[in-house]
Structure 1
Amino acid sequence: MTQPQELRPFAWSSCGDFDDQRRIKIKEDALNVDHKVIEGWVADYRNLIKRHQDFQVTVGVAGSTGSGKTSALNALLDYRELLPTDNAEAATAVPCKLAYNNDTRPEFKFRAIITFRKREDLVKQLDQLFEDLKDRNELQDMPSKSNEDHDALRLINSIVKPTLELVKTVFGLGEDEIKGMTTDDLLSLNGDVGQVLGTTECFHSGEPDQFSDMVRHYMDSTSAKHGDHGLSFPAWPLVDEVEVLVKSDILRSGVMLVDLPGLADSVESRAAVAERYFPKLAATLIVSPARRAADDSTSVKLLSDHQELRMKLDGKFHKRGYCVVVSQMDEIERNSDFKKEWAKSNKELQDLIKQEQELKISKQSRTMADIKKEKLTITRLKEMIYELEKNIKNVEGNIIFICVKERNRILTERIQQDFQARQAQMTSDHRDDLRATYDGQVSICPISSKAYWQCSDEEDTLAGFPGRQYSGIPNLKKWISHSAIPEREAHADSLLYGLLSLYNVIQTWSKEGGCQSPLLISKELAEKDVTSDIYEHIKKELGGYWEKLNQSVQEKNPLRDKKESIDNCARRCAGIVQGWSYKFPEDNSSPKKIHWNTYQANIRRDGGRFRGRSGRDCIDYYWMQDVSDVLLKTIVQKWDNALNHDIPNLGEEASDIINTIWRDFLQRLRIRFQENLPQLLPSLDEMIHSLDAIKARVNNDVQQALVAVSKDASEIHPEAAKTIQRSWKPAFKSALEEHGKGSLSRRKAVVAEFASENSREIYSTAFASLVDQLKKNFNRFSKRLDTISTLAVKEVEAHIHALLDNVSPQDVEGNKALTMKVELQQSIRDVLLQWDLEWKASEALLNTQINAENV
């Protein structure tokens, strides 16, 4: 082979019109070409491989205790009991990351990294416990208590319950046994606790069962020794997060599933761990059991208002970024369903119910008397009974199938209606381009992990689920894979352009026949003649356009109407603060005033997060979130339009202009060769398509730089709550100084007065902080553009250098060096041939249809 075929495009660069699944399959297959022969030649290749291995696209999985979330994760991984599912407390407390394991050693097939909490986090939690117990005891010691007092006692008992469970689990002490203690006293009782705090532990195994036993001690209630003192205790309350690395198909393309149980955790540090992932999420799954979802009139309880707001700000509140997973759909109450109107009017169901009853009566009538009456043998009677039982099971399966299907339909309609109302504010009449994204539809995946496993070859299928596809797990796998495609494809494009540039440089350097017509001047001199100012020219042309593009980005700034936003926030803040006096501020029908003890718990936490339970009601308190969301709600639509749509959409116009600049650059380059090295003009013309690949990479990098503006913005708005919270601390400190009779009214007055006098300034400061952070974000965009120019020039320079080196005279080694070079070039051409064939004959290109689950 003299050189690879140049005119036929690579499969990965010519698949733009294919559907999502085929397109990403072609590109990700192209990243798996074996280039190890040249790994030692170019360090860039190792960097590309490392980037590929380190790539992760994060999908968050959230759900309440008992929602079946961990069972669903095990099914998605295709390991039945890899993650423990038998401890609700631990499952609620320990966030878990699930990522692909690139380690090829058999004994490292399963790996885990356990990160323990920092000492200061645990100390803060225990200090808060002793403060809350002090408040609780003060309330308990009151001689006479009203209904509100008893309600407040129940609430504060629910507040201290998680930390009391921690104390019982780790230190083996009940509430009575820690009376009079301090945090230091408690920590001194178990020296092993101090040893593990702030540390990490790593485990590995080649067997799933053995591995599961290893990590179980950190994720459920089983006890183990964790330090030098030899004490045995469950460690999960001390764990910040667990990272599990496993070889699973769903993780192979870089998807990282993150169990986010702390989104509504009563322990502030645990909730903070979960929220750190929010800006990184490409998609979010909210898991809710079918039986619980059926009791809710809407999906409001599946996603808090604050989580919804953050998803809207990050451009993720749509069917590709958000999925409601209705779990445990196999748990059905037949008799209850039969009484519903839909069941009574469903002729198919009624016929099946009648048929089932007739079969059961027929089975019961088959007795030993039938042997004589019908002259049957015992064997024949057993066969008839078996046949009846089989028919009964089939009919029962059909009945359950209809009931499950109908409940799924009803739940889907409810959730869709609620989601449509929630999403409506994200579009406006003049933004037709957003309607395809915000179409009022949300992804809903009903699943049954139990049915998924029972539908395997070695077990009988679960009634109502004739095959694995009916379990919903394959559909959920498909949704996760599809939701991650934008980030996976951006990553694949970036690496493929890097590999293509490397491929082209090697091809140019190793082209056959180059050394047989060498230059008569040195390579250095020839390069100087050709490139004396041409690199600076292209850099200047791109830089000139970068200024215009950066200005276009700046003009999309959503934070312009400051006065209007601040005035609106200050007005609404007064109502929010007034609502803090009530248990359920949004309930205007029968408002219940908050108890003084609960109010005190809020101000003692500086308006921070905590969860309590009053009777059957679960109450989330987060005052600082309440007041910060006021600001974010005023900017959400403009923020989303600008950062998640308008700015990324600038890429199309940018591509046209870059193409024009590049075309002019190639013409200048050709003229320079014609003037200084005319004998190499044919070689340049053969190589010119390689330089077009650099232009394609520039276009791709610019598009990703625009997308990065949006991604970086997701890190900015969470800081608003922190800015506001810091501003409110003096108010809460002053309120806490009020004691004695009537202190609740005085505390409310202090807080209300602070809001009246300072809210406008607080929001102005928070708004200014957002503006400043967004400005820094835009400045990073400008620096990214400069980096793109520098990289483009560097790659052009590498190609010209390779061309000249291919035809340059040899050094003093003479013929020996020439022979070695020719041999090396030949061996490299063999590698390039294989590389070329694999890229041009992709399996996904040849397939007319790709199995989405396998992808």
Structure 2
Amino acid sequence: MKAEASAPPSGGKSAMLMDINERVLSKEGVRDDGVSRLNKIWSIIDNCSGGSAQDDAKFWKNSLDTLKGDLQSREILVGILGETGLGKSSLLNALLGVQLVPTNQSEACTAAVCIYGWSTETDEQKRFSAKITFKSWECVAEELNVLKAEIKNRFEDMDDESFGEEEDNAFFQQLVGPTKQWSNLDLDEIRQKSADEIIENSDTVFRDIFRNGEKRLSSNTRICYSSSANKFQQMLKPYVDSSKPTKKSPSRYWPLVHEVEIFVKSEILRNGIKLVDLPGSHDAMEVRGQMAQRFAARLDKRVVVTPAARAADNKAAAELILTKEETLDLVIDGMLNCDALCVAITKIDDIETSNAEEEFPAEDVSKVCKALRQLQEGNDDDEEDLGSPSSLPLKRPHNESDRTRPFKRQKMEETELCDIKEMNEDSLLSHLKYLCIKARNVDLIQKVSQCLLKTTARKGKFNQSTNRPLSTVFPVSSKAFQALMRENRTRDSEGFPTLESTGIPGLREWLRQVSLPYREEWADSDMNRIQVLLDAADGWVQDANATLPVLKKSEIPRVKHFISKITIKLQKASILSQPHAINNKVRIRIQQNLTGMKPLRDSNLKTGNIGLKSKKGRAETAMAFNSIKKAVKNFKFKNCRAGSSSSTASRYNYLHWATYKANVRRQGNQFTRRARKGQPRSSTFWMGDIGHGFWLGHESKWKHEFAHRLPLLRRKIRPTALLAFEACSKELHDSQKVPMVYRDLVRANAYKLHNLFEEYIGKVRDRFQQLMDEFRECKMSVLKKLTSRMHLCFENAINEHGKGIMEKQARVLEGYVASEGEKMINSVRNEVEDAMAKKIGQFSSDVGNFWGLRKADTGYGALIKNELLRLSLRLQGKQSKQTRGRAISEECKLRLSAIINDWRKTWKDISARLPLEVTVEPMESQDEDDGEQKVKMEEEPETCRLHEMVGMVKTEPEA
């Protein structure tokens, strides 16, 4: 974390890099130069006599290849979210700058998860490429069983409620049509055959995608590429496009596709951003909506898409941007902020200007309207009976309301001022549209921001801790941007004088800005790894130039003993409080702080008998229990959610009994009710409401840990380990137990040890970030666990029949929750805590193995020990083991030294301009005296790998 301070006057090589944009670009430039130099070093070593024969040269090359692979594999997943038909695909095309994503005005096009990333291909024939990953046989079979069950449910629904033969046929075509296309079966055959028989019946699919039934648990992949965007789009259609088949593209395989990774040289993707096009969350095909919900948990950033027409409608603003469930999920993960959430208001070009003066009564709008009227009146005098080309009002309203005042305060930028007297009618109309769009954009941004505040204002919990906006809002026009990029002014670009006015450049800039912290952390990590590799290459040169003083024979055993002693201290001191124990201090301190977490109640995850008699968690259980009871009671009403009140419900708000029964039949999973008798299509997800109720009771604890405490712990990893490393360095430099000549040599090479230390810290922090992602997976498992526990309840409810069936089924559900609800909540909570404790144990084990001093180990403790031994060998008049008898030529040594020193000088100049780091306090120790007893490390005899055993003791007996 960098300190925020005022930058010195800009200009000159010594200007401080206070701006994160300049800082990241500088670091990435040095990083890229470093990788290039490492490639040159390997080329020299590989071609130099004795160079590639170094024993550690192969390990060095593998490390370089890993570094280069990591540069290409990093990602910031940015999801483009929203319902079907809101302009997501058009927005993606505009952001990418190329027409790749299929668009359709009437139906969903994107049916598979599509991930757009940067292409590293240099072959022009592979300008556009894609990796299509198909679902495994077992996965498709499971989905077919779900489809068959849904078909069965729908036929039973028809017995309860008739929709008409024509509507039924259309619905089943929509439901089963995609499967019919790839399986070559009709509806009756799909109902009768098993899932395996359906797959085997599809000749092409069975042969090509499922490899004749081999490797049922593995996924098959397919690569396609083209130099033409149009041809590439046609190649992808069978795998991503769910619109109706055409003669050119009759096959549709998208139901069999897991995900599609598309690679293109789009500037927005160059530095790790990956745009994710998800199927609409409220798509007509429920499987696509569920797919979007599952993938959304992996996203780092979100762009929520909503059209201008809806954003301007106050009546639709209740859950316009995010549902309450989505909002709560973002809040407890600490992701409801303007750095992680963006709202793109699409289709802003769809605006009517005939009543411009009434809707946008600003002075500049009035001037244009007046000029238009004068021009039209002149035309009426010159041409008889031609009529007015515009229906603009001739009079402005005399009264002024509070709503109109903000528009009167608006002033045009100087660059937008123009002489309207010299404009013709078309230019005036275009300028009027621009002014109206600009005025409405101000109003839309305000309404969307207020909408988010209303959605998050429940009990006033979400907005008390910060004054920052909850999201960034960008009104955009994809059509206008693409028209302007083609430099072809058409009706699509009317009202948009510049690219910036379309909003797309602003959205691109937001994506770039939110990526900068990721890129800086990656660059810092890469720099440490580059320095370690350069140090290793420099060591080969130094070993070849060994002209240092020689240790006395009596001094050699003392040095060896000292090295062995100091490296053991670095790993594990005799007591935890001893300052040298880098590995134990990092591993145990993190483990103590993690097991001290209280993610779901006022009770931590520690092992031992501390929590055996604990009854904590009753408040959270009670709150969740009450929310779930309300949710189940509200199942009988339309549009009710967990935690909402049904006191205002009337008989007109009750669900139809057949709809209630259909939800019970599906055991509370997502159900979409078809439009009927003028009523729109609606969706219900009872188990989602129950899961929401669970988190209403546990949100504050989880939010505190994941939005505040865990990110802070991650920042404290380095200062915690740095204390131990500095104590070790001081002893290496000052100890009187070893000769002065060795201490001087260690001091001269201290930067190499420091680089190894920094790389170790980077490894630990990466593993900590992975642990946080694993914790979120534990959170996602709550819904599945609740669904499993509600299964028997729904089974009992579906057996109810006869008059008053809805009341009977409701009594079963409400009765089960009333009697078993608290037990269900406690057991799910305990399982989540247990899973988290096990993941903490695995994390601590992995951190212990990162250090590794055992035989055949490449941990950082072993690397530091080897470096200290190498330095001692130089003072013994010997070459190190790696270079003995394998001398590098003088020419190679000179070339290597020049490459290494040039890069070090460049990095030294940049690092001198970096701002000072903010001081972060190290982690506090918890129960430090008995910390060793809380961690049990087991070693595998064959591999010498450490495994830490951390178990979770259930702290509240189940009722």
TM-score interval, normalised by the smaller of the two chains: 0.7 to 0.9
> Counterparts of 1:753 and 1:30 in 2: how far apart (Å)?
66
**From 431, 434, 440, the counterpart of 1:401:** 434
How do 1:705-744 and structure 2 match up within 5 A?
705-744=767-806
Q: Does 1:214 align with 2:235?
A: yes
Structure 2 vs 1, CA of residues 159 and 309 (structure 1 numbering), >3 Å: closer, same or farther?
A: farther
Structure 2 vs 1, CA of residues 669 and 219 (structure 1 numbering), >3 Å: closer, same or farther?
A: same
1:553 corresponding residue in structure 2: 594
CA contact (8 A) 1:648 1:703 kept: no
1:247 corresponding residue in structure 2: 265
Structure 2 vs 1, CA of residues 513 and 671 (structure 1 numbering), >3 Å: closer, same or farther?
A: farther
1:450 corresponding residue in structure 2: 479
How do 1:466-481 and structure 2 match up within 5 A?
466-481=497-512
> Counterparts of 2:753 and 2:460 in 1: how far apart (Å)?
42
**From 59, 63, 73, the counterpart of 1:44:** 63
**From 247, 259, 262, the counterpart of 2:277:** 259
1:758-815 CA-partner distances (Å, limit 9, x unpaired): 1111111111112112222333442354245444423423433454565664579999
**From 765, 779, 782, the counterpart of 2:827:** 765
Q: How many residues align?
A: 792
Structure 2 vs 1, CA of residues 513 and 137 (structure 1 numbering), >3 Å: closer, same or farther?
A: closer
Structure 2 vs 1, CA of residues 837 and 104 (structure 1 numbering), >3 Å: closer, same or farther?
A: farther
Structure 2 vs 1, CA of residues 529 and 189 (structure 1 numbering), >3 Å: closer, same or farther?
A: closer
CA contact (8 A) 2:341 2:470 kept: no
CA contact (8 A) 1:24 1:488 kept: yes
Q: Does 1:124 align with 2:145?
A: yes
1:671-722 CA-partner distances (Å, limit 9, x unpaired): 45x6434334333222123333344445555555554443332111111110
1:712-764 CA-partner distances (Å, limit 9, x unpaired): 32111111110000011111112222234443332222222221221111111
1:485 corresponding residue in structure 2: 516
How do 1:18-417 and structure 2 match up within 5 A?
18-33=18-33, 34=36, 35-39=38-42, 41=57, 42=60, 43-79=62-98, 81-86=99-104, 89-117=107-135, 118-139=139-160, 162-166=174-178, 190-195=202-207, 196=209, 199-220=220-241, 221=243, 223=245, 232-265=250-283, 267-297=285-315, 298=317, 300-340=319-359, 343=360, 345-362=361-378, 391-417=424-450
The Cα of 1:524 is off from its aligned counterpart by: 9.5
Structure 2 unaligned runs (5+)? 1-13, 47-56, 211-218, 385-419, 573-580, 603-616, 853-858, 915-959
* TM-score for the superposition, normalised by structure 1: 0.83
How do 1:695-844 and structure 2 match up within 5 A?
695-701=757-763, 703-790=765-852, 791-804=859-872, 809=877, 817=885, 820=888, 822-839=890-907
Q: Does 1:576 align with 2:631?
A: yes
The Cα of 1:36 is off from its aligned counterpart by: 0.9
The Cα of 1:22 is off from its aligned counterpart by: 2.1
> Counterparts of 1:726 and 1:252 in 2: how far apart (Å)?
43
Structure 2 vs 1, CA of residues 128 and 525 (structure 1 numbering), >3 Å: closer, same or farther?
A: same
2:450 partner amino acid: Q
Q: Does 1:460 align with 2:489?
A: yes
* TM-score for the superposition, normalised by structure 2: 0.75
> Counterparts of 1:418 and 1:447 in 2: how far apart (Å)?
18
Q: Does the residue aligned with 2:301 lie in a helix, a strand or coil?
A: strand
Query: Percent same amino acid among aligned pairs?
Result: 23
Structure 2 vs 1, CA of residues 757 and 116 (structure 1 numbering), >3 Å: closer, same or farther?
A: same
1:384 corresponding residue in structure 2: none
The Cα of 1:550 is off from its aligned counterpart by: 2.8
Q: Does the residue aligned with 1:820 lie in a helix, a strand or coil?
A: coil
The Cα of 1:327 is off from its aligned counterpart by: 0.9
- Which of 348-357 and 603-612 deviates more? 603-612
> Counterparts of 2:561 and 2:894 in 1: how far apart (Å)?
30
2:929 corresponding residue in structure 1: none
CA contact (8 A) 1:225 1:233 kept: no
Structure 2 vs 1, CA of residues 734 and 225 (structure 1 numbering), >3 Å: closer, same or farther?
A: farther
Structure 1 unaligned runs (5+)? 1-13, 142-149, 369-386, 847-855
**From 506, 516, 521, the counterpart of 2:537:** 506
> Counterparts of 2:313 and 2:20 in 1: how far apart (Å)?
37
1:13-60 CA-partner distances (Å, limit 9, x unpaired): x99962232232223333322021234631211111112211111111
Q: Which structure features the higher share of helix residues? A: 1
> Counterparts of 1:731 and 1:816 in 2: how far apart (Å)?
75
Structure 2 vs 1, CA of residues 178 and 399 (structure 1 numbering), >3 Å: closer, same or farther?
A: farther
1:383 corresponding residue in structure 2: none
The Cα of 1:490 is off from its aligned counterpart by: 2.8
Q: Does the residue aligned with 2:470 lie in a helix, a strand or coil?
A: coil
Structure 2 vs 1, CA of residues 137 and 396 (structure 1 numbering), >3 Å: closer, same or farther?
A: same
2:470 corresponding residue in structure 1: 441
> Counterparts of 2:850 and 2:884 in 1: how far apart (Å)?
40
1:443 partner amino acid: T
> Counterparts of 2:102 and 2:15 in 1: how far apart (Å)?
42
Task: Compute the RMSD of aligned alpha carbons.
Answer: 3.8
Structure 2 vs 1, CA of residues 651 and 458 (structure 1 numbering), >3 Å: closer, same or farther?
A: closer
CA contact (8 A) 2:691 2:783 kept: yes
The Cα of 1:667 is off from its aligned counterpart by: 1.7
Structure 2 vs 1, CA of residues 512 and 703 (structure 1 numbering), >3 Å: closer, same or farther?
A: closer
The Cα of 1:94 is off from its aligned counterpart by: 2.2
